Amino acid sequence: MNSCAKLLQELTAGTHDEVLAALYALDGTQASLDRAQERAAQVVRSFAEIFTPEEHASVALFSGPGRTEIGGNHTDHQHGHVLCGSVDLDMLACAAPNGKEVIRIHSQGYPTLEVELSSLLPRERERNTSAALVRGVAAKAAELGYPMSGFDAYVTSNVLSGSGLSSSAAYEVLVGNILNHFCCGGALDPIQIAKIGQYAENVYFGKPCGLMDQMGSSVGGAVAIDFANPSAPLVKKVEYDFTRSGHALCIVDTGSSHGDLTDDYADITREMGAVAAHFNKRFLREVPEADFRAAIPSLRVRCGDRAVLRAIHYYEDDRRAVQEGEALERGDFARFLELVNASGLSSAVHLQNTWSISDPSQQAIPLALAAGQELLEGTGAIRVHGGGFAGTIQAFVPNDRLEAFRSGMEALLGRGKCHILHIRPQGGTVVIG
């Protein structure tokens, strides 16, 4: 590892340009690389300013990326398949061992948090805080047999809040990689780090969650997950270089709020569960599709038409999530785009999670999808992103239409609302060790 001064010199000299370009300049431009260099240097300078390490103390840079859901909209809670991927927005940290029994993390814009390592049991007062995530990650790593020791870290983030890119998973993966480097000798693989993050969020933070968010951040690139056994999901890295596709990933913030949508989200799970219960099962994954199709007339009476439509979406989108991964591995990006568009149509028509029936006058998601479809003119692909009802949409936009798409969406929704991202091939990582 390098001292702060040496690392700053190397960043200025371009010593680490290849590493930075692979993470942050996936569009191949010098401007993106220049921004990555300056951001990395600023993190090192801020670390030195806040923690004042000894002159020759060794530091390292770490990254925990955001993730995007690509395929399988609301299939995970029915134990189905999903396709997700890491993106080139991340949490970037400069960190160093501090020789103490305390972890100190200063996130830009927030007070420094301190987590004592003398006791790693959950603390009620830390629930729903970043400290709970840190303590939970450390506790699980210690349970696996690795001795924990303290470190200092300065963290900056450009993972968009409320964008569905999962900032909490990025944070867990970031902390997991720091502890893996300093305390575990790099022995933990990305899947283990993801599971540790999920444990921290479930047990210490107090939020039940699946494993998609952490896997998407930790593994890197596109990741196919089968949740048939949620406690031990099957995870496969999909080998495809998105930089060859001729398309960029856009996440568009529609400006609508997720507030007061709890009932809308719960209704999806409840209605799919009601269909499964008709067959004395808990999840649709346990119900053969042929049995479901044969029972539709009686299901309409017992569960209602919307529940039937949502179950139709589950079976079809679950299948599409698998097919999307297969298309990418074949290098058939055109087929992949067809499937993404079909998923988007199914979410709108069958799943019905693009607007809330509690406020029919607010339809920002359908409006943004309509505008995006007009701008794409039959090219690319577009769909609701994540949980739906409000928030963001996702589009794969041909590079030669990218500027027109961005300007068109921002003319409708406001400046800075269309975020141009890339699927990043590397997940959570030691950027510079």
pLDDT digits (tens, 9 = 90+) for 87-143: 999 999 999 999 999 999 999 999 999 999 999 999 999 998 999 999 999 999 999
Angstrom distance (rounded) from CA 292 to CA 307: 12
pLDDT in the model for residue 261: 80
Q: Mean pLDDT over residues 48-72, rounded?
A: 94
| Per-residue pLDDT at 416 exceeds 90 | yes
Residue range 247-421 in CATH 3.30.70.890: yes
How confident is residue 427, by pLDDT bands cut at 50, 70 and 90?
very high
| Per-residue pLDDT at 54 exceeds 90 | no
How confident is residue 262, by pLDDT bands cut at 50, 70 and 90?
confident
Nearest C-alpha neighbor of 83 from the set 405, 396, 369: 396
Are 4-239+427-432 and 247-421 in the same CATH fold? no
The DSSP 8-state label assigned to residue 228 in this structure reads S
Angstrom distance (rounded) from CA 296 to CA 302: 10
Angstrom distance (rounded) from CA 232 to CA 392: 30
pLDDT in the model for residue 193: 97
| Per-residue pLDDT at 260 exceeds 80 | no
pLDDT in the model for residue 166: 80
Nearest C-alpha neighbor of 234 from the set 165, 344, 321: 321
Angstrom distance (rounded) from CA 413 to CA 35: 26
Q: Give the three-class secondary structure for 252.
A: strand
Nearest C-alpha neighbor of 346 from the set 326, 327, 323: 323
Angstrom distance (rounded) from CA 269 to CA 98: 46
Distances (CA, A) of 132 to 58, 120, 245: 27, 10, 40
pLDDT in the model for residue 421: 94
- Locus of tokens 């603390």: 123
Classify residue 206 by burial, with Cβ atoms within 10 Å: 0-12, 13-18, 19+.
middle
147 and 172 Cβ atoms separated by less than 8 Å: no
Quote the tokens at residue 355: 């607007």
Nearest C-alpha neighbor of 331 from the set 430, 246, 395: 246
pLDDT in the model for residue 259: 60
pLDDT tens-digit readout, 133-189: 999 999 999 999 999 999 999 999 998 776 678 889 999 999 999 999 999 999 999
How confident is residue 33, by pLDDT bands cut at 50, 70 and 90?
very high
pLDDT tens-digit readout, 263-310: 898 999 999 999 999 999 999 999 999 999 999 999 999 999 999 999
214 sits in the region (left: phi over 0; alpha: psi -120 to 50; else beta) called alpha
Query: 335-360 b/e with 16+ CB inside 10 Å = b?
Result: ebbbbbbbbbebbbebbbbbbbeeee
| Per-residue pLDDT at 1 exceeds 80 | no
| Per-residue pLDDT at 258 exceeds 70 | no
Q: So where are the chain's domains?
A: 4-239+427-432, 247-421
Q: Among 161-165, 217-221, 353-357, 382-386, which stretch is predicted with the lowest mean pLDDT? A: 161-165
More confident residue, 425 or 166: 425
Nearest C-alpha neighbor of 393 from the set 268, 376, 10: 376
| Per-residue pLDDT at 327 exceeds 90 | yes
Distances (CA, A) of 6 to 83, 368, 392: 40, 47, 41
Angstrom distance (rounded) from CA 243 to CA 360: 39
The strand pairing partners of 328, in sequence order, are none
Mean pLDDT over the full length of the chain: 95
pLDDT in the model for residue 74: 95
Phi, psi of 93, rounded to the nearest 5 degrees: -130, 145
Percent of the chain clearing pLDDT 70 (strictly above) = 98
CATH ID of 4-239+427-432, from 3.40.50.800, 3.40.630.30, 1.10.510.10, 3.30.230.10: 3.30.230.10
Number of residues assigned to the chain: 433
Angle subtended at Cα 112 by Cα 106 and Cα 113, rounded to the nearest 5 degrees: 105
How do beta strands 151-157 and 102-107 pair?
A: parallel
pLDDT in the model for residue 387: 87
